[in-house]
Chain A
């Protein structure tokens, strides 16, 4: 008996060590698991977003023309100094502000008004309207550009036909007129967005607790008062969200229309910061300038986004 147990112990000892090592290994695997699941996303974003960000900052201190055979020349802060002094860059920055503010009526104000007026429309109608109003959002930017180039054509387009009463005498040149061109691009960008924003506001209004409105109307408040003191405050996070989307994305979204329809012209009148980045990078191959501009742009928009996000957080306490 004693011998047996001794033998058993002698055998059991290494076995328990083995089991323990196995257990530890499994424990390690357990702990590593979440990282393994995250690996594809981490690797992709690391290679295609974070690493290029670092590279862009690096390239912004060099002079280079994208050819692998030409050497990169270190120039320090020269690129930053140069691009901020360029008149075309200043024009692009001014235009970016015009784009951002000019889109607000189409991406925020009109959709908000329409959503407020259509809140009490019956469900069946609302679904039909929703389905139709959403269509521009689905259409590719290139197709949108082609459609509007045809509609707004100065010699055969239906818009000028209507404006000139069918004569095409003194048509409006929507894409080449120096003051109107940027508004044409803003209008096209807004055309694609307006239905989408309306749907977001409608969804937000539908989500408001009906009890508040009921209580206010029992207390004798009229619809305008309800809108002003209940609906609008509760909608403020949604308004801020759409403002943020407009600020961050509209200049990016207008890129396709600018590239297909005006190439930034006439005389740089429709160029914005994103478009000028592209032309420096892939038309004139001024990689240093493009990278320096990208760094400035990224920091500016990052700060704007941080500010707007903190505003959204401050206002969302209404919604409990």
Chain B
């Protein structure tokens, strides 16, 4: 008994050590970004682990030289619209699959699930052509509308609706409620936490989205923050202080969300096994 206990203590210590190493590797680059953003230009190349005379001049430089507020606004609008529309379409579809048995349901379900396997690069050219025909290049529509539904959201919500007791839906049906009423009065109130988790996940992935905005948005003042950052990098690649300040600001909203909703964020990512 004693021997076993000692073994488990050493293995616990190994576990702590492994994790601490992994965490240092995970955190240090992020810390270094924030630390550099507060260093003055002449202090940049003195290697010190924290800014000795912290300054906000880098942040001021970014605000004065980039349409940063505008880009942040665009990104908030894009990410919120994408999140809300995808939640809504997925909720309707998942509800249909969970409530009714209907002709073709298995086929439709399979066709929706299969889109998960289609890489974005395979459909990008026809989508780009369609978007330019519609005149939606450089618009919010162009960014959001192709992404108002996804297989992933439908599958996730379907699993959650299927998991709760069928009596809930059945009793509401017996009471004579319409399917629409049942959805709003019974299903959604019982689905609050998965909806919140999925919503956070969708918001963060939309915020971080790079490839589609790269194709759709070519004007910096209309663009989202990720593209703005990349333009800033190609134009002023050696201004390390301002660059780190811009990167920090672009990440700040996500960090704030994470600090407030940490548990839900982690759970939703882990459950999704994706992105």
Q: What count of chain A residues pass the 8 Å CB interface test?
A: 91
List residues 217-275 of chain B with CB under 8 A from any CB of chain A.
226, 229-230, 233, 237, 240, 243-244, 247, 250-251, 254-255, 258, 262, 265-266, 269-270, 273-274
Partner of B108 from A38, A52, A145, A161 at Cβ < 8 Å: A38
Specify which of B14, B19, B274 lies most central, judged by the most chain A CB atoms within 10 Å of its CB: B19
B26 contacts A194, C-beta separation under 8 Å: yes
Instruction: Say whether B122 faces chain A, with CB atoms less than 8 Å apart.
Output: yes
Which segment, of B51-59, B125-133, B162-170, B188-196, faces chain A?
Answer: B125-133
A131→B270 CA distance, assembly (Å): 12
Instruction: Say whether B74 faces chain A, with CB atoms less than 8 Å apart.
Output: no
Interface of A is mostly: helix
Interface of B is mostly: helix
**Smallest beta-carbon distance A205→chain B, Å:** 12
Partner of B208 from A40, A141, A199 at Cβ < 8 Å: A141
B112 contacts A41, C-beta separation under 8 Å: yes
Chain A 240-282 interface mask (CB, 8 Å, partner B; 1/0):
0110010011001001100110000000000000100110011
Q: For B30, give the chain A residue with the smallest CB separation.
A: A135
Chain B 129-160 interface mask (CB, 8 Å, partner A; 1/0):
11011000000000001111101001000000
Chain A 296-307 interface mask (CB, 8 Å, partner B; 1/0):
011001100100
B33 contacts A117, C-beta separation under 8 Å: no
Q: For B124, give the chain A residue with the smallest CB separation.
A: A281
B122 contacts A294, C-beta separation under 8 Å: yes
Instruction: Say whether B61 faces chain A, with CB atoms less than 8 Å apart.
Output: no
Instruction: Say whether A147 faces chain B, with CB atoms less than 8 Å apart.
Output: yes
- Determine the chain B residues whose CB is within 8 A of the CB of A287 once the complex forms: 125
B115 contacts A142, C-beta separation under 8 Å: no
A302→B230 CA distance, assembly (Å): 32
**Smallest beta-carbon distance B30→chain A, Å:** 6
A185→B28 CA distance, assembly (Å): 18
Partner of B117 from A55, A125, A248, A277 at Cβ < 8 Å: A248
Instruction: Say whether B172 faces chain A, with CB atoms less than 8 Å apart.
Output: no
* B residues lining the A interface (CB < 8 Å): 7-8, 11-12, 14-16, 18-19, 22-23, 25-27, 29-30, 32-33, 36, 44-45, 47, 88-90, 92-93, 95-97, 99-100, 102, 105, 108, 111-112, 115, 117-130, 132-133, 145-149, 151, 154, 179, 204, 207-208, 210-211, 214-215, 226, 229-230, 233, 237, 240, 243-244, 247, 250-251, 254-255, 258, 262, 265-266, 269-270, 273-274
* A residues lining the B interface (CB < 8 Å): 31, 33-35, 37-38, 40-42, 44-45, 47-53, 55-56, 59, 66, 68, 113-114, 117-121, 125, 129-143, 145-151, 156, 158, 161, 166, 191, 194-196, 198-200, 203, 223, 241-242, 245, 248-249, 252, 255-256, 259-260, 274, 277-278, 281-282, 287, 290-291, 294-295, 297-298, 301-302, 305
Ordered nearest first, which 6 A-B pairs have the shortest CB separation? Answer: A52-B126, A55-B126, A37-B96, A44-B149, A140-B208, A52-B123
